[in-house]
Chains A and B, each alone.
Chain A
């Protein structure tokens, strides 16, 4: 890979990880939720420094370009994360609905007293 690209990837991944940590520090992101993103940042970092595993993996699966393998991997990662996010939204919606129903029942109970 071209040197400039690698340097740029390194800088971006470092910024990314620092930003994630900053979000956690300011309580905008919970530690448990930050885990995945720190891992992603580290993955970019590692690939930028050490290209060999990517090249080997490309050969292993019979692909031609390591870059396309990287893009494909990144795309899969994003698809699965957004699916996972949607499950979180579903879970939260369900919890909010349950809470609202409980409040509805409790406030009726209170108004009877």
Chain B
């Protein structure tokens, strides 16, 4: 990659990293997440995608030192994440770390995710690997395990937590999403399968997730659980049927 000062003393080239935090009505928690990330990683850019929040999310996050991208209308979680990918693509970032604004994802695990991105093109922080302390409804747990199994079977990888939004995505991988399509509601196993089908390496490392600090989960209630149960198998099936685009314009290789 053409980055100034990259070959000095044979050190690892300094990578341009964006921590992308999609947030909708998360004024109660977003500031603490942003400041913690900035304390731990002062050299990373923290970018909050404010998904047309009706509260002070943008102001609070801005004061905490994040760069704010403000969507004029609601994009949905996936739409907000994709905005982050598009931004990172245009601004020539090398790595995007995805992090939730609600405090579930511990910024302490950004470092291991970033380190693992040397080995993988997309790294997922899994709450089911290693010491799990995460409480979750039984129905959703079954769904998550099932779709992880399916995704593992397709990709030939060992995936345990495909619905985790705690990820490190390298330029090779986010270029696919920035230039192509990305699910608007809940990105899940389908995005991992899609990346794997492009011949990229998808991997997992253990992380610890906390209960939410505030707000409510994206998937709550019977309606959205049912929608999830119907949508996921379909999304995976369609992803298998689609033909991978050959890398256009991405910094591949």
Is the C-beta of B71 less than 8 angstroms from some C-beta in chain A?
A: yes
Is the C-beta of B5 less than 8 angstroms from some C-beta in chain A?
A: no
Is the C-beta of A100 less than 8 angstroms from some C-beta in chain B?
A: yes
- Contact call B90/A104, Cβ cutoff below 8 A: no
User: Which listed segment binds A: B33-41, B72-80, B227-235, B242-250?
Assistant: B72-80
B86: contacting residue among A94, A96, A101, CB under 8 A: A101
* B interface footprint on A75-113 (CB within 8 Å = 1, 0 otherwise): 000000000000000000010110011011101100000
Is the C-beta of B69 less than 8 angstroms from some C-beta in chain A?
A: yes
Give the complex CA separation of A108 and B86 in angstroms. Answer: 13
- Distance in Å: Cβ of B149 to nearest Cβ of chain A: 29
- Contact call A101/B71, Cβ cutoff below 8 A: yes
- Contact call A97/B86, Cβ cutoff below 8 A: no
* A interface footprint on B178-209 (CB within 8 Å = 1, 0 otherwise): 00010010000000000000000000000000
Is the C-beta of B117 less than 8 angstroms from some C-beta in chain A?
A: no
- Contact call A101/B70, Cβ cutoff below 8 A: no
- Contact call A100/B75, Cβ cutoff below 8 A: yes
* A interface footprint on B39-80 (CB within 8 Å = 1, 0 otherwise): 000000000010000000000000000011111110110010
Write out the residue numbers on chain B whose beta carbons fall within 8 Å of the beta carbon of A94. Answer: 181
- Contact call B75/A101, Cβ cutoff below 8 A: yes
Is the C-beta of B25 less than 8 angstroms from some C-beta in chain A?
A: no
- Contact call B75/A105, Cβ cutoff below 8 A: no
Give the complex CA separation of A94 and B86 in angstroms. Answer: 15
Write out the residue numbers on chain B whose beta carbons fall within 8 Å of the beta carbon of A108. Answer: 67-70, 87
A103: contacting residue among B49, B72, B76, B82, CB under 8 A: B72
Give the complex CA separation of A103 and B73 in angstroms. Answer: 10
Write out the residue numbers on chain A whose beta carbons fall within 8 Å of the beta carbon of B49. Answer: 104
- Contact call A101/B90, Cβ cutoff below 8 A: no
Q: Contacts A97-B79, A97-B184; is A105 near B69 (CB within 8 Å)?
A: yes
Give the complex CA separation of A109 and B82 in angstroms. Answer: 17
Which chain A residue has the least Cβ–Cβ distance from B87?
A105
Which chain A residue has the least Cβ–Cβ distance from B71?
A104
- Contact call A104/B184, Cβ cutoff below 8 A: no
Give the complex CA separation of A106 and B79 in angstroms. Answer: 16
CB interface residues, B 77-132, toward A, < 8 Å: 79, 82-83, 86-87, 90
- Distance in Å: Cβ of B215 to nearest Cβ of chain A: 21
Give the complex CA separation of A104 and B86 in angstroms. Answer: 10
Give the complex CA separation of A104 and B72 in angstroms. Answer: 7
- Contact call A104/B70, Cβ cutoff below 8 A: yes
Which chain A residue has the least Cβ–Cβ distance from B83?
A101
Give residues in A with beta carbon < 8 Å to B. 94, 96-97, 100-101, 103-105, 107-108
Given A105-B90, A108-B67, 12 extra CB contacts under 8 A:
A97-B75, A97-B184, A100-B72, A101-B79, A103-B72, A104-B69, A104-B70, A104-B71, A105-B87, A108-B68, A108-B69, A108-B87
Give residues in B with beta carbon < 8 Å to A. 49, 67-73, 75-76, 79, 82-83, 86-87, 90, 181, 184
A-B contact pairs, 29 of them (CB 8 A): A94-B181, A96-B73, A97-B76, A97-B79, A97-B184, A100-B71, A100-B72, A101-B71, A101-B75, A101-B79, A101-B82, A101-B83, A101-B86, A103-B71, A103-B72, A104-B49, A104-B69, A104-B70, A104-B71, A104-B72, A104-B75, A105-B83, A105-B86, A105-B90, A107-B70, A107-B72, A108-B67, A108-B70, A108-B87
